Amino acid sequence: MACALISQPCSRSFTLFGDSRLVTEGHDAGKQTAMLMKNIRFECALLFAIGMMAFPMRAQQTAKKTIPTNPPTGASEAVVRQWNEIGRKLVDMAEDFPESKYDFQASTSTKTFAERLIHAAASNYYFTNLALGQKPPAETAEPPRSQFKNKAALVAYVRKSFADGASAIKAKGDRGILDLVTDPFGFDDPQHAGETKIRLRDLAENLIEHAGEVYGQLTVYYRVAGMIPPEARPKKVAEEAKPTLPGGKIRTYYLAAVESDWDYAPSGMDMMTGSEFHGQTKIWTEHTKDRIGKVYRKALFREYTDDTYTTEKKRPKEWEHLGILGPLIRAEVGDTIVVHFQNHATRPYSIHPHGVSYERDSEGTPYPDTSMDGAGLVAPGKSHTFVWNVPERAGPAEDDESSVVWLYHSHNWEPRDVEAGLIGPMVITRRGMARPDGSPKDVDREFATLFMIIDENTSHYLQHNIDANIQDPKSVNKLDMVLMDLEGNLNLAGSGFAAANYKASINGYMFGNLPMPTMKRGEHVRWYVMTMGGEANFHTPHWHGNVVTVDRHHTDIFSILPAQFVTADMIPDRVGTWMFHCHIDEHMEGGMMGMYQVLP
């Protein structure tokens, strides 16, 4: 926490809220320093209390370093690149923030938005002046707010301060940037004032870090004012996205997490037998006073036509079998995938992709040192844009077929997010082998299937499902699971409330309710077979009537482990309607079965 860091002794650090001086707590700097630190701690506590934090500060070390005999190649280029990047972000904020809010304060005791910008820009001249052989600015040289009559004048000042610094860095070059100068902040040790030296490179990096801290503070102002900072806006991220490789495309998707009730057996029948549910099958499908039945509240990824998220994109008939899965995301090697995501659910969710390349803000995974936005975690009602690159290693290897499958899923709280239903397929096609829509051009039909025992006991919505379906929710024993069937015989599929919440399904369908994948004899058909979940999700997908080719071997069955994805090709030669299921006994008994059809 920034406040905690400030309260600890350190060699040198910029103040959190903009005093241009540096403070060293290990020395007696007198009443002025004490008062400054008191104000800093107060402002830190105040912003933290309203739930907004600036970027964490780090102590800026300026201890003497060894100058290499030969300066590293491109040292000045590296510094100027960082300098310009933080300058760009602050200029973007200066241009974007409404002029009517320039004198907005995050709290009554803090500086205004405009004063923060002025402070950041003025501080740059502690480096620029020294790099140009001039005296550093006086402590009181920071321009007053009244000097800037309008927004345009202040924006111009901020832009100029970074442009002047960049020109100075370039003028010094790789060797000159390592020159020693008198530390302009050496006054914090009055006894040795004017004696402390610092390299220009280190001074520039300190000021870059300081500008970054101001940028973090200004994001707080945006949030308190009910605005989204420019860097966090989905459209800006999307506009800057470029194809991963020359000639690649930008493939854009609009996804939302949507809460809805899901029926695991919408026909109300065991479609494999054509009969009503009876016997053991009732454990997973019948709604009773102590069982939820076959309809559960879920959170699902659904695709929309545009960024208004008002019209859900209708699935083509050939993809209705996806069921609980999110939309199929496609790309060709060399493309870049841009996913605009809006969270319509009541819990924070994210999208985490497998296989592709991404920065942390497009990973969708929590880290202790990263904000929600920075990690791609999306609060209810909020939006985020994920940018995924598709390099060669994300596509088929030399011995693979022309496309491979990966999964994407929410990773804010895994496994609960996945058990809640937030999971979908992603197919990457070899470069040069894709149709305009990204599908492999040597394949006639594709089907994606998720073999998964969905554990509703660990879903975020278990309590909702109990409250909505059980007459006396308090009577439910959530641990009720016995390894026997309804007749009292030993059975590993089990019975009881907890056992009834294990849904052995294909794409969220049980007992043959999967919309039937349909193909024609002799077509080149590609099956993308996946699984996720706990250790019970070891599966053996099996096709009746026809065979598939996996790793250049013909077979009608293979095994997959949790979080494993397999691409299997089929050229069907037997016409008919055929069973398609997991061959593990308990999984079959629990309903993990469907059918596919081969037409003449």
In this structure, the answer to whether residues 488 and 585 fall within a common structural domain is yes
How far is the C-alpha of 77 from the C-alpha of 83, rounded, in Å?
10
Does position 401 have pLDDT exceeding 90, yes or no? yes
In this structure, the answer to whether residues 410 and 540 fall within a common structural domain is yes
Does position 356 have pLDDT exceeding 80, yes or no? yes
Q: Which of 200, 232, 264 corresponds to the end of one domain?
A: 232
Does position 13 have pLDDT exceeding 60, yes or no? no
CB 372 within 8 A of CB 379: yes
pLDDT of residue 19: 33
Helix 200-224 and helix 75-96: axis angle, to 10°? 20
Q: How big is the CA angle at 546 (ends 541 and 551), to the nearest 5 degrees? A: 60
Q: Which of 174, 202, 232 corresponds to the end of one domain?
A: 232
415: preceding bond cis by omega (within 30 degrees): yes
pLDDT of residue 172: 93
Helices vs. strands in the chain: H and E counts, helices first: 14, 26
In this structure, the answer to whether residues 137 and 266 fall within a common structural domain is no
Give tens-digit pLDDT for 538-579. 999 999 999 999 999 999 999 999 999 999 999 999 999 999
Does position 53 have pLDDT exceeding 90, yes or no? no
Instruction: Please give the average per-residue pLDDT across 52-79, as a whole number.
Output: 48
Give tens-digit pLDDT for 137-195. 887 678 999 999 999 999 999 999 999 999 999 999 999 999 999 988 876 555 655 67
Closest C-alpha among 151, 162, 87 to residue 125: 162
pLDDT of residue 49: 40
Percent of the chain exceeding pLDDT 90 equals 69
Helix 75-96 and helix 151-176: axis angle, to 10°? 170
In this structure, the answer to whether residues 208 and 267 fall within a common structural domain is no
Task: State the pLDDT confidence band at 292, using cuts at 50, 70 and 90.
Answer: very high
CB atoms within 10 A of CB 57: 23
Q: Which residues contact 82 (CB under 8 A, 6 or more apart)?
A: 205, 208
Does position 120 have pLDDT exceeding 90, yes or no? yes
pLDDT of residue 389: 96
Give how far Cα 508 sits from Cα of 95, 229, 326, Å: 49, 39, 11
CATH number (domain holding residue 399): 2.60.40.420
For the chain, the average pLDDT equals 85
CATH number (domain holding residue 144): 1.20.120.450
Q: Which of 204, 232, 260 corresponds to the end of one domain?
A: 232
How far is the C-alpha of 481 from the C-alpha of 290, rounded, in Å?
12
- The residue that leads in pLDDT, 438 or 5, is 438
The mean-pLDDT minimum among 45-54, 456-465, 474-483, 517-526 falls in 45-54
Number of domains in the chain: 2
In this structure, the answer to whether residues 173 and 243 fall within a common structural domain is no
pLDDT of residue 196: 85
Does position 39 have pLDDT exceeding 90, yes or no? no
Instruction: Please give the average per-residue pLDDT across 115-143, as a whole number.
Output: 90
For the residues of 150-177, what is the DSSP string, one character each? SHHHHHHHHHHHHHHHHHHHHHHHHHHT
How far is the C-alpha of 205 from the C-alpha of 550, rounded, in Å?
54
Helix segments in 183-292, DSSP class H: 200-224, 234-240, 282-285
- The residue that leads in pLDDT, 369 or 432, is 432
The mean-pLDDT minimum among 16-20, 263-267, 286-290, 525-529 falls in 16-20
How far is the C-alpha of 121 from the C-alpha of 208, rounded, in Å?
11
CB 299 within 8 A of CB 421: yes
Instruction: Please give the average per-residue pLDDT across 118-127, as a whole number.
Output: 94
In this structure, the answer to whether residues 351 and 416 fall within a common structural domain is yes
In this structure, the answer to whether residues 77 and 150 fall within a common structural domain is yes
CB atoms within 10 A of CB 399: 7
In this structure, the answer to whether residues 224 and 272 fall within a common structural domain is no
User: Domain span at residue 470?
Assistant: 239-599
pLDDT of residue 189: 59
Closest C-alpha among 85, 151, 139 to residue 114: 151
Give tens-digit pLDDT for 302-328. 999 998 999 999 999 999 999 999 999
In this structure, the answer to whether residues 256 and 221 fall within a common structural domain is no
The mean-pLDDT minimum among 47-56, 272-281, 326-335, 483-492 falls in 47-56
pLDDT of residue 14: 34
Give how far Cα 159 sits from Cα of 85, 120, 228, 379, Å: 12, 11, 22, 34
Give tens-digit pLDDT for 466-476. 999 999 999 98
How far is the C-alpha of 15 from the C-alpha of 12, rounded, in Å?
10
In this structure, the answer to whether residues 193 and 289 fall within a common structural domain is no
Does position 369 have pLDDT exceeding 70, yes or no? yes
Q: Half-sphere exposure (CA, 13 Å, Cβ side) for 134?
A: 10
How far is the C-alpha of 479 from the C-alpha of 502, rounded, in Å?
13
pLDDT of residue 460: 96
Give tens-digit pLDDT for 210-268. 999 999 999 899 888 887 788 766 666 677 889 999 999 999 999 999 999 999 999 99
In this structure, the answer to whether residues 548 and 424 fall within a common structural domain is yes
Instruction: Please give the average per-residue pLDDT across 507-527, as a whole number.
Output: 98
Tokens (6 digits) for 268: 């109300």
Tokens (6 digits) for 216: 């973090």
pLDDT of residue 481: 81
In this structure, the answer to whether residues 297 and 214 fall within a common structural domain is no
